[in-house]
């Protein structure tokens, strides 16, 4: 149970473990794009992988939205501060997308359009959570 408790603390931007939380979430955002690149290179014509890639494209947005919601609920009064941290995590997500072009130029991993759609998922949830909690 201790590992699960620690993971939950890290995934909720706990003020006591803020640096660890930001490192974990930033690494998840960047690794997500690198995993997508590996899948695009190996399974170029698979319809199932294409669907998985679309899901993975918006995974960081959903994860960060849930993190903002949970952190606003658990640590009241930190909703607006956590929105700033989410903005920093978006920098990591965009950087991870840019790294995919270092691996292979013909991949669609660094699609700023999908990343911007992700921002339209994450930030309204964070703003509403900051207003409510």
Per-residue pLDDT tens digits for 20-79: 999 999 999 888 888 888 888 888 889 999 899 889 888 999 999 999 999 999 999 999
pTM above 0.85, yes or no: yes
- Per-residue model confidence (pLDDT) at position 126: 96
End-to-end alpha-carbon separation of the chain, Å?
28
**Sequence-distant (≥ 6) Cβ neighbours of residue 99 within 8 angstroms:** 30, 33, 34, 110
Annotated domain spans of the chain: 2-132
């Amino acid at each position: 149970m201790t590992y699960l408790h620690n993971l939950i603390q890290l995934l909720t931007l706990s003020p006591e473990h803020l640096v660890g939380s930001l490192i974990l979430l930033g690494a998840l955002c960047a690794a997500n794009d690198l995993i997508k690149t590996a899948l695009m290179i190996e399974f170029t014509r698979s319809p199932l992988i294409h669907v998985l890639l679309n899901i993975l494209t918006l995974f960081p947005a959903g994860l960060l939205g849930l993190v903002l919601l949970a952190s606003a609920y658990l640590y009241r009064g930190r909703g607006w501060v956590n929105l700033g941290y989410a903005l920093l995590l978006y920098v990591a997500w965009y950087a991870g997308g840019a790294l995919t072009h270092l691996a292979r130029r013909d991949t669609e991993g660094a699609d700023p359009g999908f990343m911007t759609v992700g921002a339209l998922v994450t930030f309204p949830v964070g703003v509403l959570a900051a207003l409510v909690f």
